[in-house]
A and B are shown apart, each in its own frame.
Chain A
Amino acid sequence: MTSFWKSNQRRLAPWLFLAPGAVLFAVYVIIPIFQSMWISLYDWDGLGTATWIGAANYVELLDDDSFYTSLKNNVIWLVLYMLALPLGLFIAIFLNQTVGGMRIYKSMFFFPFVISQVVVGLMFSWFYAPDFGLFYQIIEWATGQGIAVLADERFVTYGIIAAGLWPQIAYVMILYLTGLNNVAPDQVEAARLDGAKGLGMLWHVILPQLRPATFIAVVVTVIGALRSFDLVSIMTDGGPYGSSRVLSFFMYEQALSEYGYRMGYGAAIAVVLFAIMMIFISGFIWKMWRDERER
Chain B
Amino acid sequence: MFPRPIEQTSPLSQALYKVALPVALILWLLPLIGVAITSLRPASDLAQGNYFGMPSYIAFENYWQLAFDSAIPRYMVNSLWVTVPTVIGAVALSCMTGFALAVYRFRSNILVFFLFVAGNFVPFQILMVPVRDLTLQMGMYNTWYGLALFHIAFQTGFCTLFMRNFIKSLPFELIEAARVEGVSEIRIFWFVVMPLMRPAIAALSVLIFTFIWNDFFWATVLTTSAETQPITAGLSSLNGQWIAQWHLVSAGSILAALPPVLMFFAMQKHFIAGLTLGAVK
Residues of chain A touching chain B, judged by Cβ–Cβ distance below 8 Å, are: 9-11, 13-15, 17-18, 20-22, 24-25, 27-33, 35-36, 39, 46, 93-94, 96-99, 105, 107-112, 114-120, 122-124, 126-127, 129, 132, 134, 137, 166, 171, 174-175, 178-180, 182-183, 185, 188, 197, 201-202, 205-206, 212-213, 216, 219, 223, 226-227, 229-230, 233-234, 247-248, 251-252, 255-256, 263, 266-267, 269-271, 273-274, 277, 280-281, 284-285, 288-289, 292
User: Is B87 close to A, CB under 8 A?
Assistant: no
Query: Which chain A residue lies CB-closest to B105?
Result: A14
Contact between B216 and A183 (Cβ–Cβ < 8 Å)? no
Assess whether B125 is in contact with A269, with CB atoms less than 8 Å apart.
yes
Provide the residues of chain A in CB contact with B280, threshold 8 Å: 175, 178-179, 182, 212-213, 216
Any chain A CB within 8 A of the CB of B96?
yes
Could you tell me if A123 and B260 are in contact, using CB atoms closer than 8 angstroms? no
Tell me whether B214 and A20 are in contact (CB under 8 A). no
Residue B281 contacts which of A22, A182, A284 (CB distance < 8 angstroms)? Answer: A182
By the criterion CB–CB under 8 Å, are A285 and B261 in contact? no
- Interface residue? B213 (CB, 8 A): yes
Q: Which residues of B71-102 have CB atoms within 8 Å of chain A's CB atoms?
A: 93-94, 96-97, 99-101
Mask of B1-36 contacts with A, CB within 8 angstroms, 1/0: 111111100000000011001001100111110110
A238 to B142, CA, bound (A): 25
Residues of B within 8 A of A33 (CB): 119, 122, 126-127
How far does the alpha carbon of A114 sit from the alpha carbon of B258 in the complex, in Å? Answer: 10
Closest residue to A38 on the B side, CB-wise?
Answer: B130
Q: Please determine whether A93 and B3 come into contact, CB atoms closer than 8 angstroms.
A: yes
Given contacts A29-B157, A117-B214, contact A17 B2 (CB under 8 A): no
B277 CB-CB contact with A under 8 Å: yes
CB pair A248–B18 under 8 Å, yes or no, is no
Known: A33-B122, A105-B25, A127-B34. A175 touches B275 (CB 8 A): yes
B129 engages A10 (CB within 8 Å): no
Q: Is the beta-carbon distance between B123 and A252 smaller than 8 angstroms? A: no
Q: Is the CB of B130 within 8 A of A175?
A: no
Given contacts A116-B232, A171-B275, contact A274 B25 (CB under 8 A): no
11 contacts between A and B (CB under 8 A): A20-B96, A21-B96, A25-B115, A29-B119, A114-B210, A117-B216, A118-B236, A171-B275, A182-B280, A247-B125, A277-B122
> With the chains together, A270 CA to B133 CA distance in Å?
16
Interface code B237-281, partner A: CB below 8 Å = 1, 0 otherwise? 001000000100110010011001100110010001001110111
Cβ–Cβ < 8 Å partners of B57 in chain A: none
Residue of A112, A230, A248, A267 touching B123 (CB-CB under 8 A)? A248
Task: For chain B, give the interface size range.
Answer: 35 or more
Q: In the bound complex, how far is the Cα of B217 from the Cα of A266, in angstroms?
A: 15
B186 within 8 A of A: yes
Asked whether B2 lies within 8 Å of A183 as measured between CB atoms, the reply is yes
Question: Quick check: A277 and B123 within 8 Å, CB to CB?
Answer: yes
Contacts of A219 in B (CB 8 A): 121
Task: Indicate whether B68 reaches chain A with its CB closer than 8 angstroms.
Answer: no
Residues 108-133 (chain B) with a chain A CB within 8 angstroms = 109-110, 112, 114-119, 121-133
User: Chain B residue with minimal CB distance to A293?
Assistant: B110
Determine if B38 and A273 form an interchain contact, defined as CB atoms under 8 angstroms apart: no
Q: A14-B104, A25-B153, A99-B17 are in contact. Are A118 and B6 (CB under 8 A)?
A: no
Q: Which residues of B169-200 are within 8 A (CB) of A?
A: 184-186, 189
The residue from A111, A114, A123, A197 contacting B253, defined by CB atoms under 8 A apart:
A123
A30 and B21 CA atoms in complex are apart in Å by 47
Interface bits B21-58 vs A (CB < 8 Å: 1, else 0): 10011001111101100100000000001011000000
Q: How distant is the Cα of A14 from the Cα of B110 in the complex, in angstroms?
A: 13
**Residue of B at shortest CB range from A6?**
B184
CB contacts (< 8 Å) of A98 on chain B: these are 5, 7
What A residues does B260 contact at CB under 8 A?
114-116
A96, A124, A180, A266: the one contacting B128 at CB < 8 Å is A266
On chain B, the residues within 8 Å of A206 by CB distance are 2
Q: Quick check: B156 and A18 within 8 Å, CB to CB?
A: no
C-alpha gap A12/B149 in the complex (Å): 27
A21-B150 in contact given A166-B31, A256-B128, A270-B126 (Cβ < 8 Å): no
- Among A270, A274, A288, point to the contact of B114 (Cβ < 8 A): A288
| Most chain B Cβ neighbours within 10 Å, of A20, A97, A105, A292 | A97
